[in-house]
Amino acid sequence: MFVIPALTVVISLVFAGQVLNQYRVRGRSNQLAWGLALLFYAVAAFPEVTGSLTGWTDIGFRIYYLMGGILLVPWLALGTSELLLRSDRTRLLRLVYRVFVTGITLLGLAAVITAPLHTSHLTGTTIPINCTMWCSPSSETGYVLANGLAALAAAVGNIVGTVVLVVGAGYSAYRAYRAGLHRNLVLGNVLILAGAIEVAAIASLTRINLYTLFYAGQAAGIAIIFGGFLLIGAAAQARTQRA
């Protein structure tokens, strides 16, 4: 089933191009972070296309795990933090999260490159299970430190990134209510959060060998995320016009 993952790649690239073009025009760091996150998503989806056609490979799984499993959610959340933490009072928080994302990115990259994979799980055209990289020693053995660090980077990056997205959505709603800001700012952050949660939830289905909704769910998730970007962009444009 390569059609939907192929469409996901194309859609993600188109969305990434639009957001990065907004960054080129406006120079806002949140647009750069979101554009890169969408680009990571497109790169992560490409091995799904080749894997569904000819079978999964070692390098394909590493790209999929790094870009989709480790980097996507923290970088989406980085865009949210860059959008919402602009004041002098929140400068330290913004810097702390930048350092966190940089650390997760470097740790994930090093671990995924060096970790030995359990290639027995790369024998088909379906999404390989997580035990390809790491799972509980009670289930499989033979993992090394790099495998554990890759799994740790994925877990910590996704948990912290999701918390940032949740808090960001709540904070944007509160700030919009108090300051009379455009409601699209709130709705946009809520959609980004909803899309990220959907992508994560759909990916978790592979852990119990359920793949029926995987590709369609991914495509829907990225469309929801992009819808959030559009709403936030509309809110920013409306504020500029009023100014």
> Could you list the mean pLDDT of each consecutive 10-residue stretch along the chain, which spans 243 residues?
81 89 90 92 90 93 92 90 87 95 98 95 85 84 93 92 83 71 74 80 62 68 82 67 51
CA dist 11 and 132 (Å) reads 28
The predicted pLDDT at position 1 comes to 64
Tokens 């946009």 sit at which residue? Answer: 188
In this structure, the chain runs to a length of 243
Domains identified in the chain and CATH numbers: 3-121+128-242 (1.20.1070)
Amino acid present at 102: T
Tokens of 184: 């699209």
Judged on CB neighbours under 10 Å (0-12, 13-18, 19+), 25 is: exposed
CA dist 222 and 13 (Å) reads 11
φ, ψ of residue 87 to 5 degrees: the values are -75, 165
The predicted pLDDT at position 204 comes to 64
Amino acid present at 151: A
The predicted pLDDT at position 210 comes to 57
The predicted pLDDT at position 240 comes to 54
Q: How far is CA 11 from CA 157, 182, 242, in A?
A: 24, 27, 32
Reported pTM:
0.84
The predicted pLDDT at position 3 comes to 81
CA dist 10 and 14 (Å) reads 6
Q: What is the DSSP letter of 138?
A: T
CA dist 60 and 122 (Å) reads 10
